[in-house]
Amino acid sequence: MQPLSLSLRKPLKMKSQLLLTIFLLIISLSLNAEITTDGSLGSRANLPGPDYQIKADLGRQMGGNLFHSFQDFNLQSFESATFSGPNNVSNVISRVTGGNPSSIDGLIRSTMPSADMYFLNPYGIMFGPHARLDVQGSFHASTADYLRLQDGGRFNARQPSESLLTVAPVEAFGFLRNTSASITTQDSDLSVPENKTLSLIGGDIDLSGHSPVRFDEEGFMAVFARSKLKASAGRINLASVASIGEVIPSKQGLDLNASGGQITTNNTLVDVSGRGGGGVFIRGGQLLMQDSVVQASTLDDLDGKSVDMQLTESISISGNLLGLLNSTFGSGDASSLFIKTPNLKNTSWMGSVSLGSGKSADIEIEAGQIWLENGDRIFNSVMESGQSGHLHFKVKEILSLSGQDSGNIVMGGIAYENYPSLISTGTFSNAKAGNLTIETDHLNLDGAIISVDSFGVGDAGEMNIHANTAKLTNGALISSSVFGQGNGGETQYTNR
């Protein structure tokens, strides 16, 4: 028999290596995909897939709390995990103790009516492009070390033996280290039922998509994104922790009793729009939004809640789109917008429009420094029979507007090109425009505009600027303008 030629041996060798690689990959995926209980609350078991059934007898029930404890918890794209139990369960509280991060690229389902779900893995959580939620209540994913219950009970994931299980609901997410594991999403579409809450609370949080957020033809509403967090008329909590401490949710907001970490969004839609606009609470050290949208629009007759972003270091919002959008299309008022940070840099658009009989958002921004660049626009407008909310800036050091954008943003069916940086309130109807108040040490306008305008029958709003110094260059304007039948607004400038 003739030996194999060199040219034939190479393909066979490459084929063998390829088969070996595929085999090892399959083995790796199968190992990573397992769901295994750790035996601390029930029997230790390797659950059979791909449709994992997680019944109540695998955990321990205390009153309305059903606790589960896993050694590992992972799902591939073709797999699902279904949590089931008695109808009197109010909270399904799960932890992962094995030391490995959870990779979730399949479906998490709960069949218990109205039960909220808590998923705790202090070693990291990764949601993939096929990750989905089919839950009846709220869903909270966290890399906290423990959950503190209202009566002093504790469900500890890093040190399970130090747990004290009780019947009380969850009160806080606790972190025992200065560096906590991250939560990441990759083209994930995570949603909860109407009026429920979706939370991601951990170390650094990275929400990433590979296709742009798309708007409707008029440009008033983001309608599609592959990377999306959705809680219709509900609430979304995002909190990043970088020290020992706790995150405490409440009806009024989200308290971060720790140093803040970094939250990054790229091509991602965070959406709480619904019959009444919902609430978004973002806490951390830094927020970096690139080509992303936080949207809390009112679509019908209920008043909106609040978008509340408090970052202890900085906020950067960039991209050729509407980054923050709280509008109303119905008789309910839009969700308010509150931003607090030492440093805000924005090269995107943010604002609110009333397109119904409801009131557009009241917008308040507190910062040490605000830099609005490259055609950024912060606006508040009324276009129908509703009311306009107000714009209020409280800036300790400097408010700076500069530059223009050669890009193209569509709003109201109009394409805006080569537009300057702008802060404005305006009316396009018979309603009065909102008031604009600016308090700052130094105001700098470089080819930019601050205005209160009337484009219809309604009057322009009032403008009040309180600044120690102001510098206007390259045709910058501070104006109250009338382009219709309304009256101009009163303008006052005083030293701070």
Is a pLDDT exceeding 50 seen at residue 5?
Answer: no
Structural domain range at position 416: 85-494
Least confident range of 27-41, 112-126, 205-219, 444-458 = 27-41
pLDDT at 112: 98
Q: What is the number of other CB atoms lying within 10 angstroms of the CB of residue 39?
A: 12
Q: What percent of the chain has pLDDT over 70?
A: 91
Structural domain total, the chain = 1
Q: Report d(CA 463, CA 490) in Å as an integer.
A: 6
- Give the pair of three-digit tokens for residue 251: 């009806």
Residue 344 contacts residue 287 (beta carbons within 8 Å): no
Three state DSSP letters for the chain: CCCCCHHHHHHHHHHHHHHHHHHHHHHHHHHHCCEEECCCCCCCCECCCCEEEECHHHCEEECCEEEEEEEEECECCCCEEEECCCCCCCEEEEEECCCCCEEECCEEEECCCCCEEEEECCCCEEECCCCEEECCCCEEEECCCEEEECCCCEEECCCHHHCECCCCCEEEEEECCCCCCCEEEECCEEEECCCCEEEEEECCEEEECCCCCEECCCCCCEEECCEEEEECCCEEEEEEECCCEEEEECCCCEEEECCECEEEEECEEEECCECCCCEEEEEEEEEEEECCEEECCECCCCCCCEEEEEEEEEEEEECCCEEEECCECCCCCCCEEEEEEEEEEECCEEEEEECCCCECCCEEEEEEEEEEECCCEEEEEECCCCECCCEEEEEEEEEEEECEEEEEEEECCEEEEEEECEEEEEECCCCCCCCEEEEEEEEEEECCEEEEEECCCCCCCCEEEEEEEEEEECCCEEEEEECCCCCCCCEEEECC
Q: Report d(CA 83, CA 486) in Å as an integer.
A: 60
Q: Is residue 222 part of a domain?
A: yes
Is a pLDDT exceeding 80 seen at residue 227?
Answer: yes
Once rounded to an integer, what is the mean pLDDT over residues 199-215? Answer: 96
Residue 444 contacts residue 416 (beta carbons within 8 Å): no
Once rounded to an integer, what is the mean pLDDT over residues 312-340? Answer: 94
Is a pLDDT exceeding 80 seen at residue 12?
Answer: no
Q: Is residue 69 part of a domain?
A: no
Q: Is residue 412 part of a domain?
A: yes
pLDDT band (50, 70, 90) for residue 408:
low
Q: What is the number of other CB atoms lying within 10 angstroms of the CB of residue 392?
A: 18
Q: Is residue 53 part of a domain?
A: no
Q: What is the number of other CB atoms lying within 10 angstroms of the CB of residue 447?
A: 16
Q: In one letter, which amino acid is 458?
A: G
The residue among 397, 428, 432 whose CA lies nearest residue 411 is 428
Q: Is residue 12 part of a domain?
A: no
- Give the pair of three-digit tokens for residue 353: 């429009």
Least confident range of 4-13, 248-257, 277-286, 445-454 = 4-13
Q: Is residue 7 part of a domain?
A: no
What CATH number has the domain bearing residue 428? Answer: 2.160.20
pLDDT band (50, 70, 90) for residue 280:
very high
Q: Is residue 19 part of a domain?
A: no
pLDDT band (50, 70, 90) for residue 206:
very high
Residues 476-493: pLDDT tens digits?
999 998 888 888 888 999
Q: Is residue 397 part of a domain?
A: yes
Q: Report d(CA 55, CA 115) in Å as an integer.
A: 14
- Please state the φ and ψ torsions of residue 299, each to the nearest 5 degrees: -105, -10
Is a pLDDT exceeding 70 seen at residue 120?
Answer: yes
pLDDT at 484: 83
pLDDT at 409: 56
Residue 328 contacts residue 359 (beta carbons within 8 Å): yes
pLDDT band (50, 70, 90) for residue 322:
confident
Once rounded to an integer, what is the mean pLDDT over residues 96-100? Answer: 98
